[in-house]
Structure 1
């Protein structure tokens, strides 16, 4: 650790969005306005191949905290559900936050938690500053009190243009709430409130006794459904100008049966493109609403004179189908729509402005990254590799370095019970092992929409064998408890 009298370690502002798609802020993505994220890219590094280790909230967030793949920390599905495999993380499991506290960082936290039913950020070294959501955490009443003081209690806003899943998309008596326009002002939204609390934290760090650097984590509730946004965001994007993505042509031919089943399970069998376009317009509006709040936060860093000494990281826990493959939300479908995530790092003096990184990385690599920023060694328990060498080298692997050319992910089921999946992805190919059903193989160069499962295609025999070998290597390297069974199954497969 650096000497306390001349601590040159950076402050860290970590902004985690909830269920944000990679393409929303990608240069070649849809026309979504993301000025703050674009600024982070122009002043820092954009990671083009960042992936979540699992596409479900609690599991991904637990991986981020512990630096482990989900099978390591054991929180395999959402902790708030009655069928949660693990409701809290083990007390003796090292986390990046506790290591940072021990190294002299001042940790604060606003917003969504969802990485423990009974635990809170305070159990992992953070000072929690409010903004929780009852469904996920119910940590405090801060946002509800804020709304009462503003004269617009939570639940009393008028909603228009509502969309629900089920037989009647305008009937809120059944189904899941998908999207709507709300009558409240921007200042009444949870996104604005969380930005305010983050701004308060930054100002507090600037004004306080700064013997050591700070780490602030801002977890936004969105653009996770329901996509409920006020004007001008509710009408910012015209549904009539939104075209179906290529994957909307999905037929599910040659795919695992659960893919087609999920249309009914999520209640979107009857959704046509006009309805999806209406929902996507609200989703994009939600993305822009949050981005504008990030813009306010970045301006505060500048106003407080902290921008030059603060590393800013933006990522998402996972993506969102939002109509791709005609699906809603997420689930046992390991498409890039939910596994490919945005990741931007602005670190003045280290990450080159306007640089990109094509090296494959995982969301939970940030755990080891935060620790290297703080001059703290990563615990042996971490399945996490620091991104600092990539940031220091323009996104390229250093000459004396070595990096995997693939990413590894898994899924264990959510509300409907266990469903074992493993996935390995290179730049060109993706292989998905489905325990209960047919496996999947996609040629991402020829078929970026992942419409054609090539698992039985004779011209891809060698690719299939290579990708299966890669998967087995990942499982053994990370001590995946399914490695013995899956290895034997794949060795005997054709």
Structure 2
């Protein structure tokens, strides 16, 4: 009998969404940044924790749950966002890279939320060209958008915010909707998507003195020589040394010459003229400081949104989640950017606060992935979850009840090659300790090259064990698991 009651309830939710009782369904506030590394969030610890880079995000973690093993399926901006909306890996939602179009007509979680009585709102960066669907209100940046004087697109057209900083505009528009735009009789899904700290890391002018006299700690592998690893690691184009541009990335000379925001930097560089290792170290320091200044504004935004929820009496029945579209290299391996399956870009921050449901200060170490987000939102809303979605709801984990059959491995696949940064195509499997990566295709020796890492003993992934015969059995096991995941997720065989 209970089975028939469950089925009847599901039918009612699909056929008459207006009948769904909203009283016990939480509001959802999803705050999403672009390229925000877990290394630069204080709650995650590490070498940058002493800088206190994220007090408001840390507050969210202290009052909620920090996920220590949250990962993405394809570490690049637009594909990650397509997965967020669809609950599908890149090969099934059709957005495998930053270049091709996104099919907005396909199923997306916000359409289902909207049909089940939720107000749905998107403010900020989505990086998917075309008209948004399934949102009652949306105001988004065109493409990457601009840090200064940003332009936004809505149903009505375009608006340019002269003299303003993009993070401030996104925050203000989100707060304005909370205060003036919502229907108080309905639960809501508010998505606040920041541009920052995406390259080229342009901070708000008011933040330029922050970290000015601070020496940012360097990673141990800033001067990685890529020994033991394959052609992908040595053949990339994302090194701070060789590929970080003095003008476009570090705001020296060219269009920045004479800009008062960067005048002291220009003066120091002209007087000291660093070269060699000194230049690399200076570039690292300058990059990290600009990046951290950008993330400081994002953190301020988190604080303002939390305060607004409190002022509006919404905190107790609102789950607030913070994440990023992927991780980012903060000098590890000598790099900036993302793309690789190595931890710094594969892993992403994920923090959630849900009063009365999430134990404050809790930490989850289960393997979770961005394919899980769409199903989580639907589960929170008590809305039907399409069978074709490929993730799992995180709601049991948020409540501290990990299912016995929770996944024990993750699948990853990066496609955008040849392209900017020259990171070879690759796929891989990770079981929480062992990571097997398969590089394939153009400019890969013999069309295939493997890497194996033991993250328990080599957390920085410096020692590739793939050619060591002692690990042949481990590799065979992981290859079998990789094949199983490819079948589970319907990955095309041509790769």
Q: TM-score range by the shorter chain?
A: 0.7 to 0.9
Tell whether the 8 Å contact from 1:133 to 1:139 is kept in structure 2 after alignment: no
Partner of 1:22: 38
Deviation at 1:130, TM superposition (A): 4.7
Aligned to 2:262: none
- CA deviation string 1:108-147 (max 9, x = no partner): 11100112x2x232x2334113555565997528996322
Q: CA deviation at 1:328?
A: 2.4
Which residue is 1:260 aligned to? 234
Measure how far apart 1:275 and its partner are.
1.1
| Distance change >3 Å, CA 264–CA 371, structure 1 → 2 | closer
Match of 1:57 in 2: 77
Query: Could you tell me how far apart the structure 1 residues matched to 2:238 and 2:411 are?
Result: 29
Aligned match for 2:88, one of 58, 68, 73: 68
Counterpart CA distance in 1 for 2:426 and 2:387 is 26
Residue 227 in 1 paired to residue 201 in 2? yes
Name the residue aligned to 2:134. Answer: 124
1:250 to partner: Cα distance = 1.4
Q: Within the alignment, does 1:96 sit opposite 2:109 as a pair? A: yes
Structure 2: how far apart are the matches of 1:278 and 1:63? 33
Query: Higher mean Cα deviation, 5-14 or 437-446?
Result: 5-14
3-state SS of paired residue (1:227): coil
The structure-2 alpha-carbon separation of the partners of 1:6 and 1:375, relative to structure 1 and needing over 3 Å to count, comes to closer
Q: 1:300 to 1:314 in 2, by over 3 A?
A: same
* Residue 255 (structure 2) aligns with: none
- 8 Å CA contact 1:143–1:190 kept in 2: the answer is no
| Cross-structure match for 1:388 | 395
- SS where residue 12 of structure 1 aligns? strand
Q: CA deviation at 1:88?
A: 2.1
Give the structure-2-normalised TM-score.
0.81
Instruction: Tell me, yes or no, if structure 1 residue 313 matches structure 2 residue 321.
Output: yes
1:377 alignment partner, SS class: coil
Most deviating of 99-108 and 127-136: 127-136
Q: Give 1:407's aligned residue.
A: 410
Sort the Cα spacing of 1:5 and 1:262 in 2 relative to 1 into closer, same or farther, 3 A: closer
Q: In the alignment, is the contact (CA less than 8 A) between 1:239 and 1:281 conserved in 2? A: no
SS in 2 for 1:124: coil
In 1: Cα distance, 2:151 partner to 2:159 partner: 11
Question: Deviation string for 1:7-33 (max 9, x for gaps)?
Answer: 211111000100011122243221342
- Determine the structure 2 residue equivalent to 1:170: none
Task: Name the counterpart of 2:166.
Answer: 190
Q: Give the structure 1 partner of residue 28 of structure 2.
A: 12
Corresponding residue of 2:342: 335
The change in CA–CA distance for 1:59 and 1:126 in structure 2 (over 3 A counts) is farther
| Counterpart secondary structure, 2:416 | coil
Matches within 5 A, 1:254-403: 254-263=228-237, 267-268=243-244, 272-331=280-339, 333-392=340-399, 394=400, 396-398=401-403, 401-403=404-406
Specify whether residues 262 and 369 from structure 1 end up closer, same or farther in structure 2 by C-alpha distance, changes over 3 A only: same
- Once residues 375 and 330 of structure 1 are traced to their aligned partners in structure 2, the CA distance between those partners, rounded to angstroms, is 35
Moved more, 221-230 or 292-301: 221-230
Structure 2, unmatched stretches of 5+, are 1-12, 246-275
TM-score (norm 1): 0.81
Give the Cα separation in 1 of the matches to 2:91 and 2:22: 40
Contact 1:110 1:128 in 2 (8 A): yes
The yes-or-no answer on 1:114 pairing with 2:88 is: no
Seen in structure 2, the aligned counterparts of structure 1 residues 249 and 143 have a Cα distance that, compared at 3 Å, is: farther
Q: Deviations over 1:391-421 (max 9, x none)?
A: 12x2x513xx311122221100153589431
1:97–1:126: 8 Å Cα contact kept in structure 2? Answer: no
1:246-279, Cα deviation, whole Å (9 max, x unpaired): 2323112232323222237972497612211211
Alpha-carbon separation, structure 1, partners of 2:117 and 2:26: 12
Give the C-alpha shift of residue 238 in structure 1: 4.7
CA distance in structure 2 between the partners assigned to 1:189 and 1:305 by the alignment: 28
1:434 corresponds in structure 2 to 439
Instruction: Quote the offset at 1:4 in angstroms.
Output: 5.0
Deviation per residue, 1:38-58 (Å, 9 max, x gap): 111111111100001111111
1:47 corresponds, among 43, 67, 71, to: 67
CA RMSD of superposed structures (Å): 2.5
**8 Å contact kept, 2:81–2:325:** yes
CA distance in 2, matches of 1:349, 1:70: 35
3-state SS in 2 of match to 1:328: coil
| Alpha-carbon separation, structure 2, partners of 1:4 and 1:263 | 52
Could you tell me which residue of structure 1 aligns to residue 470 of structure 2? 459
For structure 1, the 5+ residue unaligned runs are 79-83, 153-187, 487-494
- Residue aligning to 1:237: 211
Q: Who is 1:421 aligned against?
A: 426
- Native 8 Å contact 1:130 1:143 kept in 2: no
